[in-house]
Amino acid sequence: MGTQNVIEVARDLNINKVIGISTDKVAEPEGVLGVSKLMAEKLFLASYYYKGNKKTKFACVRFGNVLGSRGSILPLLKKQINSKGEITMTDPRMTRFIMTVPQAASLVLRATNIMRGQEVFVLKMPAVRLTDLIKTAVAYYAPLCGKKPADIKVNVAGRRDGEKIHEKLLADHEIPRVLEMEDMYILTPHQKVLKDEYGARYPAKPLKVSSENFSSEFAPKLSKIKLLKLIKDADVHQI
């Protein structure tokens, strides 16, 4: 209902463009968050079919895990280290796509600038192993909290219902509709004529990579040095 309200209000007010914030959890979702975000995506994109004489255009962006954002893992780890001297991880096998707050903001602004309507813009993101993220975060935050990294206990809680071991940027059935740019993927509408039109508009090319490229399991992993820099930067950009 909230997404539909946004669509109707945007049209009533003759807003030119609207970007919906989605997540990589919509690609073959297993949990409530992924399913609800997928429905929001579909409502935004389907609004084209009943637009009437309204000119408002809708598109979406898909985020990975935004480091330092409210409710994300880094503020939680910092809080746990500072207050309890121990942290909780779900499953050490997990991998996740990550991006920074500036990257997330830049993706929204760029998508708004180049969109035609009905696209989903997905940044090419590196992935991280949860164990690497935990170890690097502990090494950085523990001294800031007056503690030794070696003294921080890690409790493994196990996977929660609906959580995946690995995430995907795009579902397998979406891949035939994807155009590739240097730094992002563009998921185009279902209609072939629109895909052809969009392909002519964007400096993009048809996708030729394997579906494995869209899984955090097989995506390039950040080194601990680069990960440490991102964690430090996330402290600065935390929102």
Residue 101: per-residue pLDDT:
93
Q: Which amino acid is at 200?
A: A
Q: Which amino acid is at 137?
A: A
- Per the CB < 8 A criterion, the answer to whether 170 and 28 are in contact is no
pLDDT in tens, 10-52: 999 999 999 999 999 999 999 999 999 999 999 999 998 888 8
Give how many domains the chain has, as a whole number. Answer: 1
**How many residues does the structure list for the chain?**
239
Distance CA 6, CA 15 (A): 11
3-state secondary structure of 146: coil
**25 flagged as catalytic:** yes
Residue 140 sits in a domain whose CATH number is 3.40.50.720
Residue 201: per-residue pLDDT:
72
Q: Which of 25, 78, 168, 195 is catalytic?
A: 25
Say what the pTM is.
0.91
Q: How confident is the model at residue 199 (pLDDT cuts 50, 70, 90)?
A: low
Q: How confident is the model at residue 106 (pLDDT cuts 50, 70, 90)?
A: very high
Average pLDDT over residues 153-171: 93
Average pLDDT over residues 97-121: 95
Which DSSP helix (H) or strand (E) runs through 79? Answer: helix 73-83
Residue 239: per-residue pLDDT:
53
Please state the separation of Cα 190 from the chain's center in Å: 22
* Residues of the domain holding 38: 2-237
Give 155's strand partners: 88
Q: Cβ contacts of residue 134 below 8 Å, gap of 6+?
A: 77, 87, 89, 154
Q: How confident is the model at residue 185 (pLDDT cuts 50, 70, 90)?
A: very high
Q: How confident is the model at residue 227 (pLDDT cuts 50, 70, 90)?
A: very high
3-state secondary structure of 170: coil
pLDDT in tens, 45-98: 999 888 888 899 999 999 999 998 888 899 999 999 999 899 999 999 999 999
Distance CA 162, CA 222 (A): 25
- Per the CB < 8 A criterion, the answer to whether 99 and 64 are in contact is yes
Portion of the chain with pLDDT greater than 90, in percent: 73
